[in-house]
Structure 1
Amino acid sequence: MTRADTAPGTVLITGGASGLGAATVDAVRKAGGTPLVLDRAEPAPGVEHRRIDLADTAAVGEAIDDLVAATTGRLDGVLTAAGSDACGRLEDVDRGPWEQVISVNLLGTAAVARAAIPHLRQTHGRIVTCASTLGLRALPDATAYCASKFGVVGFSRALAAELAGEVGVTTLVPGGMSTAFFDGRPDQYKPPADVRLNDPADVAQTVLFALSQPSGCEIRELVVCESTESSWP
């Protein structure tokens, strides 16, 4: 059983209720595929989903198996777009919020991959993990986010080697995007008013590109950023 060449098939998207996740839901739908969503919030109407906090890694496997069984019975691709942040100097950020970032961004990514692999082996599918340009370059007041995203890069590279020839793994490294991710932060941690950010719909197209490569061809890492992105290289 293999993925159809003309459509992305069934794609699981974490964080699919907003930002890059929601944009990828739209892209999968428009391409003729079936998006499935894991998120704490409700995704777009008509999208099969389970509401879950990815920090609860023990619940991830059951949610994925349940979604697949209740819909198409198969899984062709995964995007781990869910993410959180806790800005501030290390000694100023409480332990709970700091560790929540690690739990969602890194441990949640690993939990989703762990649960999805048996399904993806059957379809020779692919996982696209969502890192960040701050998984390649560190900034102050971002220890939790950088630790989690540097971790995603290392995890994804190791997983790609582990699953070579069985399940594809692409590390997506996006720069800043025009999403609600920056809402609610103190002004010092928001992008300046004149900064240019990518449209998440454009980045979603690169996700579909990674998921749609022919058998045996893998995009291992994909950096996508606005041309004036200051956090890369």
Structure 2
Amino acid sequence: MNTQTSPSPQFYLTAPAPCPYLAGEMERKVFTHLVGPRAPEMNDLLTQGGFRRSQNIAYRPACESCRACVSVRIVVDEFVPSRAFKRVEAANQDLISTVFPAQPSTEQFSLFRAYLDSRHQNGGMSDMSALDYAIMVEDTHVATRVIEYRLRSPGDGLEAQPKGELIAVALSDMMSDGLSMVYSFFNPALEKRSLGTMMVLDHIRRAKALGLPHVYLGYWVRGSRKMGYKTRFQPQEHLTNRGWERFDVDAEPEA
């Protein structure tokens, strides 16, 4: 009997289910497990090929009648913040961000629940428990980090652990060619801060400082309002049948 682990990943296909982004559409996904010593290498290759990571699973859409989901990545070196982005940065100058290993906390979970209850009451994650959240953060075989964003308080910068109020969190993967934003959430009551945009801008800054060319934003869904913000970060590339190509938001036809 051959007991050696297969060097190639095994792929599986989910059953059809209602699409969470486009009414009337059914979604299917192809997925594989990201485990073992080759998980970081496979995560790089699969993300560059249009997959996303959730815990120890890499997946991508495999819908039969729809191709609306498109993988998006920002071209870091050429990114120049617009006046609107500069206003977001100015509004959040009082924040301090800290990178931690992929470990959950009760404070993170409280913020996560407030975010879900405000923004995604009927979503697939709406009933997640503290244990579910811990698994989402910890169940990874790749280079995953948690970035906490807190209001700056006296003494921050002098101590390893900032003490200010936690208002945003990002779960991110470090890849050979960029940072991949796996999931992010924030205090929904602080709408004027545009914290979602702030976290993307922070990832662009971090990638540039690390000499990494891309920030991966996951899927942009053509026709979905909740995904429209992703095309604001220019220049960016979209994964097409011909590979990664530049996308010009001004050239996108109106729906």
Structures share fold, TM-score greater than 0.5: no
Structure label with greater radius of gyration: 2
Q: TM-score, normalised by structure 1?
A: 0.30
Larger strand proportion, structure 1 or 2? 2
Larger helix proportion, structure 1 or 2? 1
